[in-house]
Structure 1
């Protein structure tokens, strides 16, 4: 003990030399514990994902079958990639005109709109103007809904026509409608 009192500088140096490795060791232990807890949190976040993937692997055959069924159903709703967009447009215009005419509407104008490419499909649109009674429009819309490949109604504008009132006849309301329908074709 007398040496420590006689040589305080050396005592501080010896104490510092012994304390420094102990502090470094303590710092490393705390750092490793912090890293371990961080990794443990990441593992806990990954466990549900891994469980979902494991469940998909266990049901792989059922998932493949469902994807195949959905894929074939989608192909029934769109025009195939092998069809020419111009031919599809012309046939679509002709078929929609026929549907509206068969429902009792008279088509006064039809126009094939430019093909748009979006979401892996060619969007083929036709715009038609037709006149007739409201029940005929309702029938035409139901027939368009039943048409395959699927037709989507992009827009519809309906306005009443002026009717000349006659004293001896019941007044029937007629309308004019502008309908824009859209069909999808798989992009080649």
Structure 2
């Protein structure tokens, strides 16, 4: 009799065991999937964290480089405290002085409207000139080596007025497009 009762309770026991094991297996699978996802995220974050630690370790060097960049910016770019038209006029006068000191005649010069490029106002200046080739070369060298905010050459055209002879050097005419930068902020 005992064996018949055991056989009758076996399906109930198996069913009870399944009712306990199925949710346990489901929860275990869910925990495993979540654990694998967390491991993947950690492995993705590890290189970023290492880079951040490297940046923190080099913080003083980065601050020094930023300070040096600001100092260079102050040397080569007009400050935002000056008005755009004042900057354009001052740069135009500097350029005209360079032409005069190099012995190149200025036919006309014009400050064009400023354009904003990200953090800077770009102020174009056009100069029409006439002069000798050697003096024009000296002018271009002087533009590149002058102290103060940088005057940059964007483009130029050159035409020959007269060819060189034994009595006179070649004369050139053309236009040089300069620009200067002013901090917009």
Which residue is 1:177 aligned to? 174
Aligned partner of residue 101 in structure 1, secondary structure: helix
Which residue is 1:152 aligned to? 152
How far did 1:43 drift?
1.2
Which residue is 1:131 aligned to? 130
1:123-142 Cα offsets, whole Å, 9 max, x none, are 11211011222222222111
User: CA–CA distance in 2 between the matches of 1:32 and 1:96?
Assistant: 73
User: CA–CA distance in 2 between the matches of 1:171 and 1:65?
Assistant: 54
Across the two proteins, how many residue pairs are aligned to each other? 182
The answer as to whether partners of 2:163 and 2:170 remain within 8 angstroms in 1 is no
User: CA–CA distance in 2 between the matches of 1:31 and 1:175?
Assistant: 82
What pairs up with 1:97-112 in 2 under 5 angstroms?
Answer: 97-112=96-111
Give the direction of change, closer, same or farther, for the CA distance of 1:165–1:113 in structure 2 (3 Å limit).
Answer: closer
The answer as to whether partners of 2:163 and 2:169 remain within 8 angstroms in 1 is no
Aligned partner of residue 41 in structure 1, secondary structure: helix
User: CA–CA distance in 2 between the matches of 1:146 and 1:164?
Assistant: 29
The answer as to whether partners of 2:132 and 2:170 remain within 8 angstroms in 1 is yes
User: CA–CA distance in 2 between the matches of 1:140 and 1:122?
Assistant: 25
What pairs up with 1:158-173 in 2 under 5 angstroms?
Answer: 158-161=158-161, 163=162, 169=166, 172-173=169-170
1:87-114 Cα offsets, whole Å, 9 max, x none, are 2111111110111222232111111101
| Structure 1 spans left out of the alignment, 5+ residues | none
Which residue is 2:72 aligned to? 73
How far did 1:77 drift?
1.0
Q: TM-score, normalised by structure 2?
A: 0.81
How far did 1:158 drift?
2.0
How far did 1:3 drift?
7.9
Which residue is 1:23 aligned to? 22
How far did 1:31 drift?
2.7
Q: TM-score, normalised by structure 1?
A: 0.80
User: CA–CA distance in 2 between the matches of 1:172 and 1:137?
Assistant: 12
How far did 1:171 drift?
6.4
Aligned partner of residue 28 in structure 2, secondary structure: helix
Which residue is 1:60 aligned to? 59
1:1-41 Cα offsets, whole Å, 9 max, x none, are 878999xxx95x87566435433332332232222122112
| Structure 2 spans left out of the alignment, 5+ residues | none
